[in-house]
């Protein structure tokens, strides 16, 4: 076999490998974008990774989210966007859920490292690194699909480290704060879905998980009160009930600046169930 023939074979093998990887990535991306089924759950909770830590993926009877025995499903995506929230909210309404808990944070503020200005200023290496990580996730998911492996939708996965010790990074806090407050960017869509929920006899509740005391102190009292008032004003304008048990809890209830541990989850679910019972 000549050198030229070997080169052609290697080139063909390389192109074939790239084609397989891109096919797997396409399958994985499609799977990631597909909203999970909520089934017949009467209660659906939708939000960011904060809800992955504060609410279990599923529960009923004694483990029901609202303490009334009703089955619940929790749908949580890391750094969830408003568009993703609206898609999942539409899914919950289509499944005829009676109560939908919607995390308010993605609707009303951006973290410092998530603002459009910050995104535009990211270096090429940062963008390439993020794209490479996402591509790797899609390829792994696509391979599992090709192999017929059963996969739990990302939004329904359990938090991986509820029992780890609390570690709050000053660098992480500096990357997150100050917050950039805004009105819901898809408020028109949200208002339409609120009207649909009323027609169906469903209730949408905004929920605001507490953050750690260290995070609240890093924000400062003025910023904290401004955020609290902004969230309440949003709930009032939308005409939705708001569950916000406290602006901050002691660090012992968290694994970092905002994600709860087992103790935090138990406290959060207990206070949510009590609040729901008081509403009647």
pLDDT in tens, 69-92: 999 999 999 989 999 999 999 999
Nearest to 75 by CA among 96, 91, 94, 61: 91
- Counting as low any pLDDT under 70, the low residues of the chain are 1, 3-38, 114-152
Looking at domain 41-137+153-279, its CATH superfamily turns out to be SGNH hydrolase (3.40.50.1110)
Which tens digit of pLDDT belongs to each residue from 126-135?
A: 445 545 655 5
Count of other CB atoms within 10 angstroms of residue 268: 24
* End-to-end alpha carbon distance in the chain: 81
Digit-coded pLDDT (tens) for 95-113: 999 999 999 999 999 998 7
Burial letters for 159-171: b for 16+ Cβ neighbours within 10 Å, e otherwise?
Answer: beebeeebebeee
Tokens of 201: 């006899």
Q: Can you give the pLDDT at residue 120? A: 47
Reading the block at residue 233, the tokens are 């004003």
Q: Take residue 264 and report the two structure tokens written for it.
A: 């935090």
CA distance 71 to 86: 22
Nearest residue to 254 via CA among 243, 240, 270, 265? 265
CB atoms within 10 A of CB 43: 25
Beta bridge partners of 72: 43, 59
CB contact burial 200-218 (16+ within 10 A = b; e otherwise): eebbbbbbbbbbbbbbbeb
Identify any residues that bridge with 103 across adjacent strands, giving them in sequence order. 207
In this prediction the pTM is 0.78
């Amino acid at each position: 076999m000549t050198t030229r023939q070997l080169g052609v074979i290697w080139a063909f093998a390389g192109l074939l490998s790239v084609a397989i990887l891109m096919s797997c990535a396409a399958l994985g991306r499609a799977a990631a974008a597909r909203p999970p089924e909520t089934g017949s759950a009467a209660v659906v909770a939708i939000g960011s990774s904060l809800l992955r830590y504060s609410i279990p993926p599923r529960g009923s009877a004694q483990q029901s989210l609202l303490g009334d025995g009703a089955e619940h499903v929790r749908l949580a995506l890391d750094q969830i966007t408003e568009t993703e929230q609206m898609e999942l909210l539409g899914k919950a309404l289509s499944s005829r859920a009676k109560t939908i808990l919607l995390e308010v944070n993605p609707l009303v503020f951006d973290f410092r490292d998530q603002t459009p200005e910050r995104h535009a200023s990211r270096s090429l290496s940062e963008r390439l690194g993020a794209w490479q990580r996402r591509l790797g996730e899609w390829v792994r998911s696509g391979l599992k699909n090709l192999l017929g492996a059963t996969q739990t939708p990302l939004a329904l996965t359990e938090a991986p480290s509820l029992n780890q010790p609390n570690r709050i990074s000053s660098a992480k806090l500096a990357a997150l704060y100050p917050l950039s407050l805004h009105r819901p960017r898809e408020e028109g869509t949200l208002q339409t879905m609120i009207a649909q929920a009323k027609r169906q006899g469903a209730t949408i509740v905004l929920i605001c998980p507490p953050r750690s005391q260290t995070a609240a102190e890093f924000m400062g009292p003025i910023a904290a009160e401004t955020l609290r008032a902004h969230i309440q004003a949003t709930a009032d304008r939308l005409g939705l009930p708001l569950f916000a048990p406290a602006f901050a809890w002691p660090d012992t209830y968290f694994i970092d600046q905002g994600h709860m541990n087992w103790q935090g989850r138990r406290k959060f679910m207990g206070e949510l169930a009590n609040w729901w019972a008081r509403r009647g």
